[in-house]
Structure 1
Amino acid sequence: MSDTVEAFLDRVRQAWDDGDAHAYGAQFTEDASYVIFLGDAMFGRAEIERNHHDVFTKWQRGTRMVVTLVNVRQIDADSAIVVTVGGIGKGDKIAYDKFQTYALRRDGAGEWQCAAFQNTEMSERAKKTYA
């Protein structure tokens, strides 16, 4: 059975919630690109994992992620463009404040992996729409 986009997003969210940089990095292809809303870019699974070790142990330690699927555009059986809204924080209510675009492709086992990721801060208008 083929992996679903929702299952991929759940793995990403779970790895974040667990603070597990290895599991988080495993969701990306070996040559993935990863661009954050501040304008920094990372290239390759190893760099994404290494960076998220610091994210999870320093700046975002103990945070949780919320993510909601907005749109899936299936390019072919093994590739898709996915847009989500999400946020990270602590406590019971985490605000949706970012759009994420994932370019996904299936690996040899049929699981989705992210080949390119872009995270963008939402406008105030968008926050009202997706709150």
Structure 2
Amino acid sequence: MTRIVPATSLLALLFLLPTACSDASHAQDEMELRQLVAVQAEAWNRGDATAWTQDFTQDSDFINIVGSLFEGRAEIEQRHAAIFATIFKGSQVKVTVRRIVFPEADIAVVDTIHELTGHTGLPPGVQNTQPGLLRTQMKYVMKKISGQWRILAGHNTDVKPAP
């Protein structure tokens, strides 16, 4: 007997696919990813570039809020050490995980909102989202390697102030 599935049911399944892996089987992974983000925020708040970049893979890449590309963990760490010593020295960040999606069992896309205060300056072309507050949206692509989540790529975008 052949069964015909209504088009609306197929559409509903398509909308559920991106979150289909976010079931109970990924509860531990989601907890680990949230912990990784929290540890990274703590490292930022200490101005510790080595700890901030510890979960990037050696060949990872990172695009910062002005669109500059940094390739490899060493370059990402150098750039963050420079900003921790200058415009972002003493700054504090609060990071909120907005969404985690598992397109495959060992791959995660982690979207976060960063709220940065206490900075003494901003890169050219960047302005505070609100007085004293720079809000950014970060998207990480992460892979579970040898049982540990690692960052393959990060892309940070500043949130423009309301017109």
Choose between structure 1 and 2: higher strand proportion: 1
Q: What is the match of residue 46 of structure 2?
A: 18
2:65 to 34, 37, 44: 37
Note if 1:119 corresponds to 2:119: no
Moved over 3 A (4+): none
Measured against aligned partners, the alpha-carbon deviations of 1:26-82 in whole angstroms (never above 9, x if no partner) come to 121111110012111100000011111111111211111111111111122221011
- Structure 1 match to 2:129: none
Q: Compute the displacement of 1:98 (Å).
A: 1.1
2:116 to 43, 65, 88: 88
TM-score, reference length from structure 2:
0.68
Q: CA deviation at 1:96?
A: 6.1
Q: Of 71, 74, 96, which aligns to 1:68?
A: 96
In the TM superposition, residue 123 of structure 1 has moved relative to its aligned partner by 4.3
Pairing 1:99–2:137 present: yes
**Preserved CA contact (<8 Å) 1:85 1:96:** no
Query: Aligned-pair RMSD on alpha carbons?
Result: 2.0
Task: Tell whether the 8 Å contact from 1:11 to 1:27 is kept in structure 2 after alignment.
Answer: no
Instruction: Tell me the percent identity.
Output: 26
Q: Please give the alpha-carbon distance, in whole angstroms, between the structure 1 residues aligned to 2:84 and 2:33.
A: 24
* CA distance in 2 between partners of 1:121 and 1:59 (Å): 15
After TM superposition, give the deviation of residue 7 of structure 1 in Å: 0.6
Aligned residue pairs total: 122
Task: Tell me the TM-score normalized by structure 1.
Answer: 0.83
Q: Distance in 2 between matches of 1:29 and 1:71?
A: 22
Q: Structure 2, unaligned stretches of length 5 or more? A: 1-27, 120-131
Q: Contact between 2:56 and 2:150, CA under 8 Å: does it hold in 1?
A: yes
